[in-house]
Amino acid sequence: MTTYALTDSWTMTRRELAHWARQPVQVVVALVFPVMLMLMFGYLIGGGRGVQGEYLDYLIPGMLALTMAFGLEGTMIAVTQDLTKGVVDRFRSMPMADGAVLVGRSGADMLQSVLVLAALTGVGLALGWRTHGGPAAFLAAMGLLLLFRFAMLWIGIHLALVAGRPEMVQAVQILVWPIGFLSNALATPASMPDWLGTVVDWNPLSHTATAVRDLFAAGPVDTADVWSAVAWPLGLLAVFFPLAVRRFGRLCR
């Protein structure tokens, strides 16, 4: 049964990748937009209140984490369009595992996220940023970023299914913005008012950004930061993955 579900999910992933070939502009925009954000915050807007040392060492990991929280609307719109345009009704007539459409769409999004991380890392290196933790630490940092993306993705899918229509996705997507900017991605919590710093410290994105900074740095890695960056996304997945699959199943009946 597991092999059957994986085969169906890969089939749906290839379906989404075929859309890339027909609509390459969306892929290019998804790559260019986070690069523009990085350059804007690094050189136009500035920031880094309370940051000690080189700001790029603080900014690049924060932007990598911030980007993993944004850009969910493409997946959210695709899910709602499949529901409203009758695509899912056609899939229901096939011997397909429950949730394969959602898993396939999330798989395509994760592949795009890998490309986004590669693009941002390349731009960061071009700007003079360097990692100091070694290859294993670098791969661990990328794994934490993708784990956070995967959790955010299933939150977005669930919200899209709750919204129900593509035109409602933009309104729901706004809910993601506080998660992104109420974090330590761009400034330290110590530079903020006490109450705001407390909120920022509890933000899952802040835990991921902090762990990634530790892994990229030359000093010892705080394992507590890494474990919290693992625990938060897994906890979110444990809640929103079954919620999304269950709601999708009810909508398809």
Handedness of CA 27, 101, 114, 36 (dihedral sign): positive
pLDDT in tens, 148-171: 999 999 998 888 888 777 767 776
Most confident stretch, 40-49, 84-93, 161-170? 161-170
**More confident position, 28 or 212:** 212
Question: For the CA atoms of the chain, what is the radius of gyration?
Answer: 19
Whether the full predicted model's pTM is greater than 0.85, yes or no, is: no
In the chain, % of residues over pLDDT 90:
30
CA gap 145, 237 in Å, rounded: 14
Q: What is the pLDDT of residue 235?
A: 97
Q: What is the CB-side half-sphere exposure of residue 231 using CA atoms within 13 A?
A: 9
pLDDT tops 80 at residue 97 = no
Tokens representing residue 45 in the block: 């807007």
Residue 86: is its pLDDT beyond 90? no
Note the pLDDT of residue 51. Answer: 67
Higher confidence at residue 212 or residue 175?
A: 212
